[in-house]
Chains A and B, each alone.
Chain A
Amino acid sequence: MSQDQTNSFHQFLNTRVHIAPLAVFRILFGAMMFASTLRFMLKGWVYDLYIKPQFYFKYYGFEWVQPFDSVGMYTLFVIMAIAALLIMLGYKYRLATLLFFLSFTYVELIDKSNYLNHYYFVSIVSFLLILLPAGRYFSIDTYLNPLKTVTHIPRWLMLPLQLQMGLVYFFAGVAKINADWLLHALPLRIWLPPHTNLPIIGGFMEELWVAYLFSWFGAIYDLSIPFLLIFKRTRTIAYGLVIIFHIATAILFPIGMFPYIMIICTLIFFSESFHLRFIQIIQQLIESLHLYKSENRVSEIKPYLFSIRLKKILTLVLITHFSIQLFMPFRYLLYPGKLFWTEQGYRFSWRVMLMEKAGKTFFYVKDKTTQKSGEVMMSEILTPNQEKMMATQPDMILQYAHFLKQKYQEQGIANPEIKVLSYVSLNGSGSRLFIDSSVDLTTQKESFRNKTWILPFTTN
């Protein structure tokens, strides 16, 4: 880069922009998270996912994360809901974002079988929100202490959320560039036909060309939408596409709140005047309820002031964060074999609704001292959802084998051997052997190293 370019890039990053988009993002994100947390509790999922199970699939390195008892778990969710509400209102903003991030992430770390890309997304966004001054405008904090009000921030504080959103879409698009998705319209050719009951479009769901069209449209959409959202000229069309795309996925797939969260979050790309108008409408709404009078409307520019030290820390944290974000989706290249089959390096990479995978694993135990053997009756310990998630993910199969070893040792079998008979079908391939059934899994250690006991994917 030439000196000039460096300078203009520097200038670009430090240009003052209005804080309104950040404040609106905070309000909407807080509201969505509050609603999601309530929904989660009302559906009884706190009990189903975090109280009922007898065993939890821990993340490597986070084995210390334990669920609390039932009172503790509900308390944690109530804290999460309150924190989300406080984020929305902008009251004790830093504390609220920190609390929300910690409680939400803690819950997600309890059990790998509940991993969803959109939960990961929420964790990341709430992490970024801790760093950003989104509570410094149109918030209770600034209402109570008008001196805290900030109207303008350097652009580099606006970019992280936009960049994060862009990465989510872009990597979701990159993940779709594979032969199954583009050349064979898989898995959509399996997923669409059952939807013949939909009004109007139902009749086309069994047509192969529709599966191709959806596949290609999805891939092009994901790859291009970040760019279309950046430029003013294409933004309105892009947002129309965002709505169509996410509503379509909401109709076709059981993905809960995710489509709506994305529809709301992409507003961060809109202009400052859009967001100011949005705030104005809320202001009028609140005033019409006679809750407060906005006498302290700020007209002068109040820039965000922070120390050089804070700037250095923020820069360092953001650069580290985004370097990790860029690395994660490509770490699968460090492993041999077919990614969708082995799932080594699959999670945390924005691979959303990419494959149809189902499996069934039978566990066998053998007492090496007496040579007696038997089978493990799965349903006695795992919930159906845990069993289903485990059946297609080797690291979870290994974890469960280790748990069984411990359990049998407690029952007095000093030397148990655990082997599995595991079948998986990937993108309609038909069931085939997944794990080497001659390997005693108690002798295998969990690590980031290649799992040699995963059998290669074979095509007919």
Chain B
Amino acid sequence: MSLSKISLRLFILVLTGSVLLTACKEKEKDKPGDTFDKAGILTNLSDNLIMPAYADLKKAVDSLVVANNNFSTDLTFQSFVELQTKFKSAYSAYQWCSTSEFGPAESEIIRASFNTFPCDEGQIINNYTTGTYDLGSASNIDAKGFPAIDYLLHKSGSDNSKNFSMLSNSSPSISYLTALIAELKTKTDIVNTTWSNGYRATFSNNTGTDAGGSVGLLVNQLNYDFELLKNAKIGIPLGKRTLGTPMPEKIEGYYSETSLQLITEQIKSIENMYLGRSKSGIDGKGLDDYLDHINAQYNSGSLNTAIKNKFISVKTKLAAIPESLANSVVNNQAIVDAAYAEMQQLVVLLKVDMPSALGVLITYQDNDGD
């Protein structure tokens, strides 16, 4: 038989085979154990994790706006402390959103606008003293968002009466603070509205495998966010980039000393995104179920189990770091380093093992492959 005949027959076989099987398949489509319902993961994540996280952020930012209004009309220590409290809860609420930097959050550049740290004190001072600034400009990226608000509210660290007097005696700082909070609100509102008006459907239905498909976006952002956590929030302060010289002033939430709380929130958020678990603990469909469905292996065991265990040990090691992080990166380096090393192993599992089992393209850039 000639090669052409073989190919032709093979081709016909493929074609008829496919047609026949499609016909059979149609009938038993609803049987469990058929193809994995990827849209189910996406719906669960959008409805039970992402959208609630943005709704929580909106609530927290709205309270922050109210607290700020109260403070600016009534410059008392009590209203100042209330403002600080609302700031901290909004900053915590944001940690649950930072993994979802796609769709509206991506177009609003939420991560960079809300949480570029350390902030540039000089730029902030310059902005509020001159009173002329454009928060939308790239040069102000480190003079706004939560880190800048953190600075305005907690400049003098633990000396809170000084924090209070410094802010309340400077009406330019108060109006700058108001402008910063207003930007948080505008952007948060846009993201919330866009998610409920259409993006939810766009996200859940985009089950494709290209870099723009939702599973791809999810895995890419999960990794990006987690690496940012490891490097910017722990590695750099620990001195990883500076040949061992600690850089405590580079930590997140430096002035309010909330760094460890923020990190704890973010790692829980990332873990939940992986598991498809809501903040209140209800476990829905997640990437973990997908990995189990395709029976992904790691060292002759289950990859999902390896990842789940690694999340637990990362959380344990992070919890072991004594307050404050700024102090610990200088005085308890071994403990912080242990947490860092554990996170590094989780990076490998999430960035190498998970995508190569999922067949998802890990890329942050649209390009041809071959």
Contact = CB atoms under 8 A, between A and B. Distances in A.
Interface of A: 43, 45, 48-49, 114, 116-118, 187, 190-197, 200-206, 213, 217, 220-221, 224, 227-228, 231, 233-234, 237-238, 241, 244, 253-258, 352-353, 356-360, 362, 365, 367, 370, 372-377, 379, 383-385, 388, 413, 421, 423-425, 428, 430-431, 460
B241 A206 contact: no
B29 interface: yes
Given A237-B4, A360-B347, A460-B299, A379 B369 contact: no
Contact of B368 (A217, A254, A428): A254
Contact of B35 (A190, A205, A430): A205
Given A116-B370, A197-B207, A234-B3, 17 more contacts: A196-B35, A201-B22, A206-B35, A206-B36, A224-B3, A224-B4, A224-B6, A255-B368, A258-B368, A358-B356, A374-B239, A374-B241, A375-B240, A377-B241, A384-B363, A425-B356, A460-B299
Nearest to B236: A377
A255 B356 contact: no
B185 to A, nearest CB: 30
A362 B340 CA distance: 13
A384 B299 CA distance: 27
A206 B296 CA distance: 14
B351 A358 contact: yes
Nearest to A434: B352
B4 A203 contact: no
A197 B36 contact: no
B227 interface: yes
Contact of B240 (A358, A377, A379, A383): A377
A413 B2 CA distance: 67
B14 interface: yes
Given A254-B210, A258-B370, A460-B300, A431 B243 contact: no
Contacts of A191: 359
A430 B368 contact: no
B10 A238 contact: no
Q: Which of A194, A357, A367, A460 counts the most chain B CB atoms within 10 A?
A: A194
Interface in B18-33: 18, 21-22, 25, 29
B165 interface: no
B241 A379 contact: no
Contact of B3 (A228, A352, A377): A228
29 contacts: A116-B369, A118-B368, A192-B359, A193-B294, A196-B35, A203-B29, A204-B25, A206-B35, A224-B3, A227-B3, A231-B4, A234-B3, A244-B11, A254-B361, A255-B368, A353-B370, A358-B356, A360-B347, A360-B348, A372-B245, A375-B240, A377-B235, A379-B231, A385-B364, A385-B365, A413-B243, A430-B299, A430-B353, A431-B352
B359 A255 contact: no
A202 B359 CA distance: 15
Nearest to A359: B352
Contacts of B10: 217, 220
Nearest to A39: B368
B297 interface: yes
A193 B359 contact: yes
Given A356-B356, A428-B356, A374 B242 contact: yes
Interface in B72-131: none
10 residue pairs, one from A and one from B, having the closest CB atoms: A256-B368, A234-B4, A384-B364, A358-B356, A372-B243, A197-B207, A375-B240, A194-B209, A116-B370, A196-B35
B298 A385 contact: no
Interface of B: 2-4, 6-8, 10-11, 14, 17-18, 21-22, 25, 29, 34-36, 38, 207-211, 215, 227, 231, 235-236, 239-245, 294, 296-300, 303, 344, 347-349, 351-353, 355-370
Q: Which of A192, A375, A377 counts the most chain B CB atoms within 10 A?
A: A375
Given A255-B368, A256-B368, A362-B344, A204 B18 contact: yes
Contact of A196 (B6, B207, B358): B207
Contacts of B362: 358, 388
A385 B367 contact: yes
B11 A254 contact: no
A169 to B, nearest CB: 13
B16 to A, nearest CB: 12
Nearest to A121: B370
Nearest to A383: B365
A143 B241 CA distance: 65
Contacts of B243: 365, 367, 370, 372-374, 413
A231 B349 CA distance: 51
Q: Which of B3, B14, B239, B357 counts the most chain A CB atoms within 10 A?
A: B3
A241 B7 contact: yes
Contacts of A187: 359
A266 to B, nearest CB: 15
A430 B7 CA distance: 35
A253 B208 CA distance: 11
A255 B360 contact: no
Nearest to B5: A234
Contact of A194 (B2, B231, B303, B359): B359
B300 A203 contact: no
A228 B241 CA distance: 58
B37 to A, nearest CB: 9
Q: Which of A241, A254, A367 counts the most chain B CB atoms within 10 A?
A: A254
